[in-house]
Amino acid sequence: MPEKTSESPVRIIGSRELHQNLPSILRELENGSVRYVLTVHGRPRAVLIGAAPYLSMISEGGRSSEALVGLQLTALLGGNLDSVSLDDLEKALDDGRPSVAG
């Protein structure tokens, strides 16, 4: 079964595993918090998200979980996290609690 990191909705899956487990993966993608990063030869190639969660995501203008997925994907691709904007970092780290100005 695909690799799932603890506390993360992101699962890393190879193309062979995707082919072998497609029905169960499609069922999991109905869950709005699940994302798959599809790899080919160990390199990320695509992010899989269910259709209903995708429509919800684009209608809401993005959520903190999407910003976190973006940061994780940047890291997996070997991207430079220094180029990530402060707004994106804050959104990714936002846990829904009101911020305290100081």
Determine the pLDDT at residue 27: 92
Q: Do residues 56 and 66 lie in contact, with contact meaning Cβ atoms separated by under 8 Å?
A: no
**Nearest C-alpha neighbor of 32 from the set 54, 7, 6, 13:** 54
82 CB-side CA count, 13 A:
1
pTM over 0.75: no
Cβ atoms of residues 39 and 45 within 8 Å: yes
Per-domain residue ranges for the chain?
Answer: 3-93
What is the residue-level pLDDT of the chain in tens, covering all 102 positions? 555 545 677 889 999 999 999 999 999 998 888 899 999 998 889 989 888 777 666 656 656 666 666 676 677 666 666 666 677 667 666 655 454 444
CATH number of 3-93: 3.40.1620.10
